[in-house]
Amino acid sequence: MSEPRNHLGDETSPYLLQHRDNPVHWWPWGEAALAEAKATNRPILLSIGYSACHWCHVMAHESFENEAVAAQMNRDYVNIKVDREERPDLDAIYQKALSLMGEHGGWPLTMFLSPDGRPFWGGTYFPPKPAYGRPSFTDVLTQLARIWRDDTNDIAAQGAALVDAMAKDEREQLTDGLSIKLIGELSAGLLEYMDTEAGGLKGAPKFPMPFLYDLLWRVSQKNGNAALRAAVLKTLQAICLGGIYDHVGGGFARYSTDAQWLAPHFEKMLYDNAQLVDLLTLLWRDTGSELFATRVAETVEWLDREMMTKDKAFASALDADSEGVEGKFYVWTEAEIDHLLGADAPAFKAAYDVTPGGNWDGHAILSLSRTGFRVEDEEHFAHCRDVLLQGRELRTRPGCDDKVLTDWNGLMIAALARAGAAFKKPDWVQRAERAFAAVIENATWHDDQGRARLGHAWRAGRLQRTAMLDDYANMANAALALFETTADPNYLARARGWVDLATALYWDEDAGGYFFTASDAETLILRTKTANDAASPSGNGAMVQALARLFYITGARDDRTRAGATVAALSVEALRGFPHACTLLSGFLLLEEAVQVVIVGHADSNETKALLAAAHSAAEPGLIVTVIEDGAGLPAGHPAQGKAKVNGRVTAYVCRGPVCEAPVTNAADLTAALV
């Protein structure tokens, strides 16, 4: 039995370090903590959260910093604190357990476990006194400690039954298989749940859910469903205009607490912004919307200014709170606006919904929802926002979680590469390349077989080697985005290596699809496998997309076979979980209906670059772009195999299915061919 103390002081996670001075005797997850629980025969209180989580901070202030509450926790429990961003494998297991208990998941996640890690009860946030229909945290602690003492056998049986239910292997597959028609019908059926006034799904809170609107957009582009198209545009316009967007500093908050996209919890997460940059770029390629283009550019500026780490990768998150107050850094009073903007204040206030009483808790959250976005106002208002940004920099900043997560960086690298190509911003592509190089340098380690493997998180010179499927899938897609953007074959080789390694370590040989954790990872009570998107895209969905791209680029039939097997293994879950498995469904659409652009020419020539720019700006959502020196560089069976330059000029071929259209040699003709 160890000495009673808080054990978090040697951790690198900013979230765990936030709790190192708590009077709670916290342990990080590991063998020592589990051994302590077994040696003392005490249940485990597992608390999972993340550094930017507002309600995590609330529960910490109310309970974990309270000496009396801490004494009760220390007496009756072994207390383990987990950063869900560092250990998404643990979070996935215990969120699933909570859902099987009939409770909604979220953070902070509060679970009670037997010393062997089996859950027997749980919840999320618990208040210090009964409120919100929830019991007080101290009442929960008291009752569960009593149950542990008096009903140990019942708890053991309940825990075993719950783990059995979690591990239940659903091998059911669709009788007729997944189809494009079925996905179209599911997507159209979602229209009745859409908020036609404010955008998004009906009700509150409202989450951006980029993976959902990406799928709906792709479906509408393929089948011409105008209502779906309108719903997606309405939603993204509302997100870009509302208070969920930081109009002064750029970047999107996690979600809106209300139905009008006005009042967010103010944390900014890298994965949300990566997905929104990618989606807005996709929509801009079709619409040319100045609003979408502006938001992408401003978010990239925010990324460069506030999220870049010293090694040129991207930090994880910015906190919702500063000085212990949610949103204090981001909101305004009318007097502050008047003081900073002077004569410009009246017009700015009228546009951005700044009133004497405020629109949120006596303060103003800047929003254009009432007035809209006017290109003719932008130059003047951009100056006003710059003045406010300089004024805001004098405030106490929210904390930055500067650990680097491989999977989230993969999302942003891919988004920056595609946005840079579409908007003709080579410096954005270079940012993506620098971040990619930083991941290679800092997150790669070699196992005892000499394999170059990815780690999941690094900070302060320490790498967490436990990687998840998402790390390999998202970095493979990042490599492929850079390959399609730059035509550098080294990126294709990286993607190939990571996908092959993921298949060796994560593939389910019995049922198909990929497990979340590697075959040689720490043994937990469950090895999860899912198609469902959470806050970020599912690893299986991202792997299907990577495999589909590799198949079209290299012609490797094994890639297509494995992508199809992944879809088949998880399609029932995907349909049951709709709309929370859209990444997998989007991957299926790409696998079935990709449009290939093959450019025959030298990658560094101006003619090739002009055709590349035209391809990457095209509205077609299922585009896969390859640059080759000549047609012999394509795999056997490729529809453009053997195609050559026309009259010695760099030439592009657009191929749909097994058929290539007539060759084109200038950007305007390629743009027309991709309409």
pLDDT in tens, 565-617: 999 999 999 999 899 999 999 999 999 999 999 999 998 899 999 999 999 99
Residues 115, 38: Cα–Cα separation, whole Å = 5
Rounded to the nearest 10 degrees, the angle between the axes of helix 582-593 and helix 539-554 is: 10
Same domain, 73 and 194: no
Same domain, 277 and 162: no
Q: How confident is the model at residue 172 (pLDDT cuts 50, 70, 90)?
A: low
CA 35 from centre of chain: 34
Decide if 209 is inside a domain. Answer: yes
Average pLDDT over residues 152-166: 80
Contact 122, 134 (CB under 8 A): no
Task: Give the residue numbers spanning the domain of 607.
Answer: 594-675
Q: How confident is the model at residue 363 (pLDDT cuts 50, 70, 90)?
A: very high
Same domain, 79 and 144: yes
Domain boundary among 382, 401, 420: 401
H/E segment holding residue 204: none
**646-672: per-residue pLDDT in tens?**
999 999 999 998 899 999 999 999 999
Strand 595-600 with 457-459, pairing: unpaired
Residues 585, 478: Cα–Cα separation, whole Å = 19
| pLDDT above 90: residue 160 | no
Same domain, 243 and 353: yes
Radius of gyration of the chain (CA): 26
**60-92: per-residue pLDDT in tens?**
999 999 999 999 999 999 999 999 999 999 999
Average pLDDT over residues 164-188: 78
Residues 283, 407: Cα–Cα separation, whole Å = 24
Decide if 493 is inside a domain. Answer: no
**518-574: per-residue pLDDT in tens?**
999 999 999 999 999 988 999 999 999 999 999 999 989 999 999 999 999 999 999
| pLDDT above 90: residue 17 | yes
Decide if 356 is inside a domain. Answer: yes
What the block records as the tokens of 254 is 């996690």
Instruction: Supply the CATH number for residue 599's domain.
Output: 3.40.30
Same domain, 158 and 293: no
H/E segment holding residue 617: none
Same domain, 136 and 194: no
Q: How confident is the model at residue 631 (pLDDT cuts 50, 70, 90)?
A: low
Q: For residues 502 and 166, which has the higher predicted lDDT (pLDDT)?
A: 502
Average pLDDT over residues 394-419: 97
The percentage of the chain sitting over the pLDDT mark of 70, rounded to a whole number, equals: 98
| pLDDT above 60: residue 497 | yes
Same domain, 294 and 331: yes
Decide if 486 is inside a domain. Answer: no
What the block records as the tokens of 584 is 């997998």
Same domain, 260 and 345: yes
Average pLDDT over residues 421-446: 97
Q: How confident is the model at residue 625 (pLDDT cuts 50, 70, 90)?
A: very high
Residues 214, 446: Cα–Cα separation, whole Å = 36
Average pLDDT over residues 445-473: 95
Decide if 34 is inside a domain. Answer: yes
Instruction: Supply the CATH number for residue 34's domain.
Output: 3.40.30.10
Average pLDDT over residues 126-134: 88
Same domain, 316 and 385: yes
| pLDDT above 90: residue 278 | yes
| Residue 201 identity | L
For residue 392, give Cα distances in angstroms to 245, 337, 657: 16, 11, 53
Domain boundary among 401, 432, 456: 401
Amino acid 176: pLDDT: 63
What the block records as the tokens of 367 is 């929003």
How many domains, the chain? 3
Average pLDDT over residues 20-32: 97
Decide if 473 is inside a domain. Answer: no
Contact 322, 267 (CB under 8 A): no
Q: How confident is the model at residue 4 (pLDDT cuts 50, 70, 90)?
A: confident
Decide if 479 is inside a domain. Answer: no
Amino acid 171: pLDDT: 52
Q: What is the mean pLDDT of the chain?
A: 94
Amino acid 675: pLDDT: 87
Contact 95, 109 (CB under 8 A): yes
Amino acid 173: pLDDT: 59
Domain boundary among 385, 401, 417: 401
Phi/psi at 645 (nearest 5 deg)? -65, 155
- E-assigned strands of 15-113? 26-28, 44-49, 78-83, 109-113
Same domain, 133 and 208: no
What the block records as the tokens of 472 is 């390999």
Same domain, 157 and 196: no
Same domain, 264 and 346: yes
Q: Please name every residue paired with 131 in a beta bridge, in sequence order, or none if there are none.
A: 134
Decide if 353 is inside a domain. Answer: yes
